[in-house]
Amino acid sequence: MKTGAFQSVAGAIAFQESAGSGRPIVLVHGNSASSRAYLRQLASPLGARRRLVAFDLPGHGRSADAADLSIYSLPGYAGILRAFAKAQRLEDAIFVGWSLGGHIVLEAAPDLPKAAGFAIFGTPPLAVPPAMEQAFLPHPAMASTFSPGMTQAQAEAYVAAFFKPGYSDIPPSFVEDVLRTDGRARAELGASIPKGYRDEVAVVGRLRQPLVVLHGVDEQLVNGAYIAAQSMPTLWRGAVQKIADAGHAPHWEQADAFNALIDAFAEECG
């Protein structure tokens, strides 16, 4: 696996790349996570066959904290994604986003005309203003989403909500990533939402490229019924792809099933 760094307006952006080849697949992680969340893709048979590229958002993982706090917003993160794709010649990639990463992918999608396709999971498309109570399920962990600081116990509780109820093999790296994240990234993201972002319901309704939506059947944070009710004309296979025995992090909990779906989608995208 190759590692590197890209110099952006937010500072150094760290990334990892698998050994595979062909059309690239760019993986965008979620809030308070890092590219390590995709290790079960990068270091898998999927990564050995296909070129997977995962980067750390500003203020996350091995990337620098942003000096300009406006970077910690959907438009700011989308700008980093576009710049990264251009610098690394990934503009014709398939762009995959988990949770916040999915919102970033949707924010950037209209400005990625060469993209072969898009994939989101743990990401309910939000209109303007957002219907948060319909899009998300009530869960105590949601209170930490935009919190500037978290204790060890709060970080552990937040990460536990990523997985299906009773999941016992929670990776320590997920908790480490939460504690490493620049707390301003969460706080500024929350503060930025009223200031503006692209209407994601409109984005998925107007997409020309294929879109795959994956959803863990035992999701604790996102309302699957809300997602299924959205108009998504280019939705792959005409339906949300449900992954059994998985919650908000199906790419980790059921990596084989997740990887098979991404592989099949990539195959159909050429």
Residue pair 18/47 in contact (Cβ under 8 Å)? The answer is: yes
> Domain of 23: which CATH number?
3.40.50.1820
Q: What is the pLDDT of residue 224?
A: 98
Q: What is the pLDDT of residue 105?
A: 98
Segments of the chain assigned E as strands:
2-8, 11-17, 21-28, 50-55, 94-98, 117-121, 211-216, 241-243
Segments of 9-164 assigned E as strands:
11-17, 21-28, 50-55, 94-98, 117-121
Q: What is the pLDDT of residue 270?
A: 79
* Residue stretches of the chain with pLDDT short of 50: none
Residue 74 structure tokens: 């959907």
Q: What is the pLDDT of residue 97?
A: 98
How many angstroms separate the first and last alpha carbons of the chain?
24
- Distance CA(50)–CA(36), nearest Å, equals 18
- Distance CA(232)–CA(84), nearest Å, equals 27
Residue pair 47/25 in contact (Cβ under 8 Å)? The answer is: no
- Distance CA(165)–CA(98), nearest Å, equals 19
For residue 19, the enclosing domain spans 2-268
DSSP 85: H
Residue pair 243/254 in contact (Cβ under 8 Å)? The answer is: yes
pLDDT digits 0-9 by tens, 177-216: 999 999 999 999 999 999 999 999 999 999 999 999 999 9
Compute the 3-state secondary structure of the chain and give helix, strand, coil in percent, each to the nearest 5: 45, 20, 40
The whole model's pTM is what? 0.98
Q: Based on the structure, what is the number of domains in the chain?
A: 1
